[in-house]
């Protein structure tokens, strides 16, 4: 697909008529005008303001030019208006000495996801007071940004897969930011597809010890301390690159979400698990029959994001040599240039030699929608 314009309606304006915005809506405290084919955002009430698309977009490449002298601004993607605020991914426009332009911020939710600390080349890409070309690519759970051709953000996160695009004018007085040449190439969309149907064990098989049963769309796994052997529920299908997520409650004992595994080894499987435990290490990465702990979060970190005795959502993104784990939207583990396995099956674990009670629902994988 070719890039298409996403901005100013010039061709439909007769001589002497004002240029107009045909795909955008105003929200918040900014003032928006079009001047000579350029969208200009200025301070209004003093609150942050947005100019956002009427449509929502899933996978896309967005390109635009931005100019700002001082202050702060940003470009929202896959975002939503929640309680009057724009919430979601924001690509930073930052002319300050901090120089984090092109970094990835989660507005009105989690804060900074990927800033530019320790990235001097990326920090130098943005030119204050000049036109800067931004390229933003969102495909599945992969978000990438470039500023003036320099790679800046490269992040895996699956909290939002679609939403509006918005231009921001930051809160404050005497703010001004300019945008032009806004184009988008739509690349379809990704969505979550169940790999467990909530009713049966179709597509999965049980190995080892412990018991698995299904009640009201919930998968319940239990194991007795007197039994030394491990138990697993394993997919029939193997996967290579994938993003998988599951909701779980851990009441007692140790469990895990395995991925890229082989059915071999003393415990029945060999490969990576994202840790599931009612007390410690939630979302850590452990390699069974291999390196052991690869990323082990501290109890202090776990306390920030884990909900004891309640439902938690864990997501694992494993693409090439990069592995990312999140729990309730918090990044609990990340590996880059990993030397581990590149493909294998998915499994849910019941640890041997422990009393285990764990429950699962909504086991899903991210796939492109045709």
Average pLDDT of span 44-72: 93
Assess if CATH 3.40.50.300 describes domain 4-187.
no
Nearest to 101 by CA among 153, 58, 59: 153
Average pLDDT over residues 199-204: 98
| pLDDT beyond 70 at 11 | no
Give the DSSP per-residue string, 25-66: EEEESEEEEEETTEEEEEESSSS-EEEEESS-BSSEEEEEEE
> What pLDDT is attached to residue 46?
80
Q: Indicate if the pLDDT at residue 8 is higher than 60.
A: no
pLDDT reading at 105 higher than 60: yes
- Rounded average pLDDT over 133-156: 98
94 band by pLDDT with thresholds 50, 70 and 90: very high
- For position 44, what pLDDT does the model report? 80
pLDDT at residue 322 greater than cutoff 80: yes
CATH 2.60.120.560 range(s) for the chain read: 4-187, 192-369
pLDDT at 173: 79
Average of per-residue pLDDT values in the chain: 93
Residue 45: which pLDDT band, with cuts at 50, 70 and 90? confident
Helix (H) or strand (E) holding 360: strand 356-369
Q: Region 270-286: what's the mean pLDDT?
A: 97
The architecture CATH gives domain 192-369: Sandwich (2.60)
Strand partners, 216: none
Beta-carbon neighbour count of residue 293 at 10 Å? 11
pLDDT band at residue 247, thresholds of 50, 70 and 90? very high
Q: How far apart are CA 334 and CA 336, in angstroms?
A: 7
Q: Which residues contact 216 (CB under 8 A, 6 or more apart)?
A: none
């Amino acid at each position: 697909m070719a890039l298409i314009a996403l901005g100013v309606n010039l061709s439909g304006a007769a001589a002497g008529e004002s240029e107009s915005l045909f795909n955008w809506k105003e929200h918040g405290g900014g003032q928006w005008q079009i001047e000579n084919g350029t969208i200009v955002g200025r301070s209004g009430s003093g609150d942050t303001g947005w100019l956002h698309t009427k449509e929502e977009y899933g996978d896309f490449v967005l390109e635009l030019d931005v100019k700002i002298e001082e202050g702060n601004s940003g470009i929202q993607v896959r975002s939503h208006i929640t309680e009057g605020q724009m919430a979601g991914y924001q690509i930073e426009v930052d002319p300050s000495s901090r120089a984090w332009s092109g970094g990835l911020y989660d507005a009105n939710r989690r804060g900074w996801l990927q800033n530019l600390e320790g990235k001097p080349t990326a920090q130098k890409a943005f030119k204050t007071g000049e036109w800067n070309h931004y390229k933003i690519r969102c495909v599945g759970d992969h978000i990438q940004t470039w500023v003036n051709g320099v790679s800046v953000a490269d992040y895996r996160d699956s909290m939002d897969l679609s939403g509006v695009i918005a231009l921001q004018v930051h809160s404050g007085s005497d703010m001004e930011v300019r945008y032009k040449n806004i184009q988008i190439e739509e690349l379809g969309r990704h969505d979550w597809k169940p790999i467990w149907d909530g009713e049966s064990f179709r597509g999965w098989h049980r190995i080892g010890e412990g018991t698995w049963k299904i009640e009201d769309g919930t998968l319940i796994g239990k194991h007795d301390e007197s039994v030394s052997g491990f138990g697993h529920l394993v997919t029939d299908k193997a996967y290579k690159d994938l993003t998988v997520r599951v909701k779980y409650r851990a009441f007692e004992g140790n469990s895990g979400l395995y991925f890229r595994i082989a059915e071999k080894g003393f415990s029945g499987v060999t490969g990576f698990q994202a840790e599931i435990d009612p007390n410690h290490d939630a979302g850590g990465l452990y390699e069974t029959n291999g390196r052991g702990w690869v990323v082990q979060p501290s109890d202090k970190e776990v306390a920030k994001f884990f909900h004891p005795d309640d439902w938690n959502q864990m997501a694992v993104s494993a693409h090439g040599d990069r592995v990312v784990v999140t729990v309730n939207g918090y990044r609990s583990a990340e590996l880059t240039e990993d030397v581990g396995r590149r493909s294998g099956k998915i499994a849910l674990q019941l640890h041997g030699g422990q009393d285990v009670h764990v429950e699962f629902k909504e086991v899903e994988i991210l796939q492109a929608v045709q």
